[in-house]
Each structure stands twice: as structure tokens, then as C-alpha cells.
Amino acid sequence: MKPLLQLSDIRKSFGAVRALKGVSFDLQPGEVHALLGENGAGKSTLIKVITGAHSPDEGTLVVGEETLRSLTPSKARELGIACIYQQPALFPDLTVAENIGLRLKKTGAFARVNHAARRKQAEELLKRIGADLSPDAEVRSLSMPEQQLVEIACALGSGAKVVIMDEPTASLTQKEQHLLFAVVRDLRKSGVGVVYISHRLEEIFALADRVTVLRDGESVGTNRVDDLDEAAMIKLMVGREVAQLYPPAEGEAGDVVLSLKNLCCAAGGVKGVDLEVRAGEIVGMAGLVGAGRTELARVLFGITPADSGEIRLNGKPLTLSSPREAISHGIAYVPEDRRRHGVILEMPIAHNITMAVHPVLFPGTWLRFKAETELAKDFIRDLGIKAYGPDAPGGSLSGGNQQKVSVSRWLATKPKLLILDEPTQGVDVGAKSEIHKIIRGLAKDGLAVLMISSDLPEVLGMSDRIAVMRGGTVTAVLPGGSDAHEVMAAALGHGGKEVA
């Protein structure tokens, strides 16, 4: 069969940085081709070459019948290439139908809009992908996965033959993932080629036909997924064996650090949470998106204060009404979205790390840059942050290293309780296992760790105990080493029939 897309020997440099050093890639009709690689391996650059955002320095692209040196975004669209990004790019104030209509049809400024036809078209497309959405809903009111479905509907409606999906499941619940997978399989059946990017290996095994691994801007091989196992795939990605994905638990849990009794927060949708976290223990927090896990963390960090119930830290009852108060009591929170709120990208690493400890590091007086730099250097060394120095801006680091900076900021406060929200989201496999090692090391040193994660293998592999949340409350606390089935069953609130 003639490939939908064939890239040969694509090279692209940005200044001195050679992002792509001769990558070849092809996509057959009716296949899901996974693109795998650590952050910085060149995946996003390659995607941008395919969507026309970047022109390659060398190499050729064959799209269908046409051979090209480079594409432009509009040319790519014309040739049937569509990309669904992690963060959907929709107009929040317009309805679903208006968004789809705008994307699919270029009209003159004074052409009359046929609202009925638009609505009908949207309805059909949504139905085709099995999305239970009203075409009249404002996009603002939709959840992230629902917005992704709208994006997919747009891609489908534009008659795309090549659909690129960039980490589409990053913020989806298990159930939504299954829905998405069904849509992808449908696309495949209808002859569309899907380029699928994800850090989650299990998704690639579940979905992809072939996988191309990128490393340092080069393709290190294209294989049939059936021919590889997890270890082989990781080895291809990192170029070395990742000895153990999850570091083993060590030591005994100590005294109760955090204890919650019937904690409620109506504004945050937290409804009567009972939970204990002990020193030296990692409590993994599983549940679907929307189960109230992040909301609970926000209550514990004083962002949305609790209405009723009890929070005790080391036995002492607390009221937490601002992050500053929480910090002063020894609570640290590494938020979910590090790119937005975890690390200030414009600021040097050193400034980022000392941000929450100004009063301690510089009591009452001016900043001492030497102390700041020393502290930053300590963390750069201890956590293995890859950066050219404490002055490097946060934005110059890869995702995994940004996350380490975010964690450093909170370790600098010498907390008693560390709350991590999706600590390895969007982080490549190598950095992920480093972060896991860091978390385990912290617990070993006596820190109480509460780790929220939607990455089920991570929860299972890392936790000493697993708390499962559903509908704003903790529905089950399971021992570490429980199997995925039990956890998912508790998260879904029934016998776990939906677990694939």
C-alpha cells in the first residue's frame, strides 16, 4: 500500500542545537504509528515539521502523491493532516457547533452563516466518534477530554487522512481513555493513519501497530509493537537499561503526621474525607479525574479552605486558610501543572528554588545571593537537575528537570508533609524513574508523602498504601501491592467491569 506520509532524512537545527539529525518516518493508511522518545528527543520538532510549523533544513516529505521540501500550516491542512494537541485550541466562548463550523469552513467575512447546517454537521460528527456532547454547549463548560473530542470531530470533519495525537490521554480518566481508544480504533478502521505520541507504554501496547523511537534527534528504529516488550522499548528510548522502574519500599512507617477526620469543603467538592499519612510513608492517591483528589490537596494547602472537619498535623489541630499558613506548618504542595504554576519559567532556577523560603533563608533582611546559589547548587546536585547552572531560567529545562526544580522549592522548606500532584505527568521514562527514586528517598528520610497520580502503574508501584477517592471522598484504603483491578474497582465504585 502506498504510505499516507513518508519523511526521509529530515534534518532541522535551531542555531547550534541540532533537533533532528536525519529522521525517517512513514505512516500507512489504517495504522496507528506510535512516536516514542524522551523529552527533548525531537518528537515535537518532528510533529511541527509534519504540521508545517517548521520547515526542515534538509530532507523530503511525501504526502499522498505530492513530494515537498517543506509544508506550511495551511498546506498541511489542505493535504489532510490534522493535529490534536494536549491542550485543545478551541474558542471557549463559542459553542461546539460554532467551533467545528469555524474550523471546517473558510467563508468570507460577509457570508451568511447557516446555523442549522452547522449544527447538523456538528451533531453528525460528534455522533460518529461516539461523543455524548451537545452541539450547543459552550466550549468553556466542557472538560478537557470533551474538548479533545471536539478537536477530533474537527479533524474528522475536515476529511483528515493523517491525524496526529500529542499525548491525548494526559488528562483523561480511565473511562475517557477507553472512549478515546475506541475512537482511534474507529479512525484506523476507516483508513486514517494516526501518529500517536504518549509517554505511557501501556497505551502504546494497547493501541499501536508500529512504533518509531526517537533518541537525541535520530530515529533509532521502527518496529512492530508485537515484536517488543516493555523493557526493550524503554531500552530503545533511553539507550540504557532502566534497572527498576519503581524503587522498593524501605523502612517502617513512623508516627501519624497527617490525620483528617470528616474533612469537608463544599466549594472544592470535598465531602467528608478521613485519611492518615505517616512519617516515612508514601500514600498514593488514586481515582478518576474529578474524584476530588486535587481539590483535597488544595484544601490541605489552604488554597480553598475547609468548611468543617478536622486537620491534624503531628497531632495538633490546624486551620489552614492560605498557602503561606500551610507552608509555615510544614506542608508542601507540588502542583499539577508545573509549566504554569510549579516553576516560573522566566526566573532562574535559584530564584525558583528559594521562592518559598525567603523568610528562613534571609531572615528579616536582604537576600544573600551566595546562600541562594549554594542552596540551588545543592539541589541541582542532589536531585540530578540537568541545567547549566543555578542561573539557568526555568524555561530552559526539560519537563522532568522542571519538575525536579518544583520539588526542590518545597524540599527547601523542610516540610513534614509533601503533597505531590501528578509528579511525573508528561515526563519521560528516564526522568520519571529518577523522580520516583527521589520520592522514595524522601520517604526513607522520614517525610510523609501524599502522591496523587492518574498513572495507575505509578500508584501501584510507588505506594505503601493506596487511598482511592470517588465523588469527593476516600472510598477505600488498600495496601501497597494491591492489583490494578481492585484499585480501579474502588475508583469506579463497582465491580470493575470497565477495566480493560
- From residue 63, how far is each of 26, 71, 78, 258 by CA, in Å? 10, 10, 11, 58
Interface residue with another protein among 206, 264, 355, 499 (CB under 8 A) is 355
263 phi, psi to nearest 5 deg: -75, 130
Query: Is 416 near another protein (CB under 8 A)?
Result: no
Residues 359-388 that bind another protein (CB under 8 A): 359, 362, 366-367
Nearer to another protein, 154 or 356 (CB): 356
Closest contact distance (angstroms) between CB of 52 and another protein is 13
Closest contact distance (angstroms) between CB of 335 and another protein is 6
Query: Is 319 near another protein (CB under 8 A)?
Result: no
**Number of residues counted as binding another protein (CB under 8 A):** 24
- The position carrying cell 500532584 is 421
Query: Is 396 near another protein (CB under 8 A)?
Result: no
Closest contact distance (angstroms) between CB of 366 and another protein is 4
Closest contact distance (angstroms) between CB of 351 and another protein is 7
Taking the C-alpha atoms of residue 300 and residue 310, their distance in angstroms, rounded to an integer, is: 11
Interface region with another protein, contact rule CB under 8 A, candidates 118-126, 356-364, 376-384, 422-430: 356-364
Query: Is 409 near another protein (CB under 8 A)?
Result: yes
Alpha-carbon torsion (84, 90, 94, 99), positive or negative: negative
Interface region with another protein, contact rule CB under 8 A, candidates 99-107, 342-350, 373-381, 444-452: 342-350
Query: Is 347 near another protein (CB under 8 A)?
Result: yes
Closest contact distance (angstroms) between CB of 477 and another protein is 27
Query: Is 351 near another protein (CB under 8 A)?
Result: yes
Nearest 10 degrees: CA dihedral of 273, 302, 143, 426? Answer: -100
Taking the C-alpha atoms of residue 70 and residue 57, their distance in angstroms, rounded to an integer, is: 9
- The position carrying cell 474497582 is 489
**What burial class does residue 452 get, using C-beta atoms within 10 Å of its C-beta: 0-12 exposed, 13-18 middle, 19+ buried?**
buried
Burial 34-63 (b: 16+ CB within 10 A, else e): bbbbbbbbbbbbbbbbbbbebebeebebbb
Query: Is 87 near another protein (CB under 8 A)?
Result: no
The amino acid sitting at 68 is: L
Least Cα distance to 159 among 87, 229, 82 occurs for 82
Interface residue with another protein among 104, 155, 207, 327 (CB under 8 A) is 327
Closest contact distance (angstroms) between CB of 142 and another protein is 22
Contacts of 444 (CB under 8 A, 6+ apart): 250, 251, 280
Query: Is 356 near another protein (CB under 8 A)?
Result: yes
Interface region with another protein, contact rule CB under 8 A, candidates 80-88, 137-145, 223-231, 335-343: 335-343
Query: Is 307 near another protein (CB under 8 A)?
Result: no
3-state SS string over 173-221?
CHHHHHHHHHHHHHHHHCCCEEEEECCCHHHHHHHCCEEEEEECCEEEE
Taking the C-alpha atoms of residue 58 and residue 8, their distance in angstroms, rounded to an integer, is: 9
Interface residue with another protein among 324, 396, 479, 498 (CB under 8 A) is 324
Query: Is 344 near another protein (CB under 8 A)?
Result: yes
Query: Is 340 near another protein (CB under 8 A)?
Result: yes
CA 343 to chain centre: 15
Query: Which chain residues interact with another protein by CB under 8 A?
Result: 301, 303, 322-324, 327, 333, 335, 340-344, 346-347, 351, 355-356, 358-359, 362, 366-367, 409
